[in-house]
Amino acid sequence: MDLNAAKKRRGLGPLRSSSPFAPDSQRHASFRDAFTADKARPPTPPPTTAFQSAAATTVQTRISPLIAEKFQNLAKSYDDEWHEKHVAETEARRILGNTQAELAAARQQIVELEARTEPDDVAARTLGEANLAKHQVLSLISHQNRLHIQQAVDGELSRGANGDPSGGGPDDPFEERLGLARQLRQMLAEQRQAEADYVDALSMVGVGDKIEKYRKLLKRCLDPKDGESLDTNLDSLIDMMEEERDVNDLEAAGPSEPTDLALRA
């Protein structure tokens, strides 16, 4: 035990005195201190070996710098390639972020638009009501125009019966009456096309206000007494207009047009 204690005391070395006038303790530098000092010291270039051979000297003085330059250029090319890839990756990430933001905004707009749109059944019902009102208006306009034409024809016939020479009569040449009939048929076709175009133009006003506008137009086309009871008699009115439409379709498909009509005044 005494031997171990003596070795331990020798290993610790001289203790530092607490007196300010005492000399510094003589501590020997260890291997760890030497290794730390070597790491802190900048690396020294390897010593240049002096060769006696001319070939070795040529390799050392000429070829070695060329090889070192080649490796330096190769390392620089690798670094430039990495820099280009890094820039491209940064740009790709930026584009991806912008695209994802635009996609999220587009999806949000789609959700908002879907929330504003009407359900399919409501839209189909509204479209059906609008088409029905369109046919009703077309039938009423056609019926009203026929009434005006019939009144004009009755006036012409009454003037012809009273001996008015401007009214025309059975003594007119056949060619003239045939020409008038053809002209009348063409004008009737143009009138029907104009009626259809007029109704189509009305249908472009907007789906939300179509039904109310067609209802007001129906009341305006009908007599005041019938217009007041339009809502209650709408079904019977629709049946009547459908019957008139079927009759008109049969007349239009016939071999000839009626020739006893005149243009509306």
Give the residue extent of every domain in the chain: 57-117, 120-252
- pLDDT tens across 174-226, in order? 677 777 777 877 887 787 787 777 777 666 655 455 566 666 766 666 666 66
Q: Could you tell me what percent of the chain has a pLDDT over 90?
A: 14
- pLDDT tens across 155-174, in order? 776 776 665 555 455 555 76
Task: Give the per-residue pLDDT at 265.
Answer: 34
- pLDDT tens across 47-77, in order? 667 777 788 888 888 888 889 999 999 999 9
Q: Could you please report the per-residue DSSP string of the chain?
A: -HHHHHHHHHHH-SPPPSSTTSPPP-PPP-HHHHHHHHHHSPPPPPPPP--SSHHHHHIIIIIHHHHHHHHHHHHHHHHHHHHHHHHHHHHHHHHHHHHHHHHHHHHHHHHHHHHHSPPHHHHHHHHHHHHHHHHHHHHHHHHHHHHHHHHHHHHHHHHHHTT-GGG--TTS-HHHHHHHHHHHHHHHHHHHHHHHHHHHHHHTS-HHHHHHHHHHHHHHHS-HHHHHTTTTTHHHHHHHHHHHHHHHHHHHTSSS--SS-----
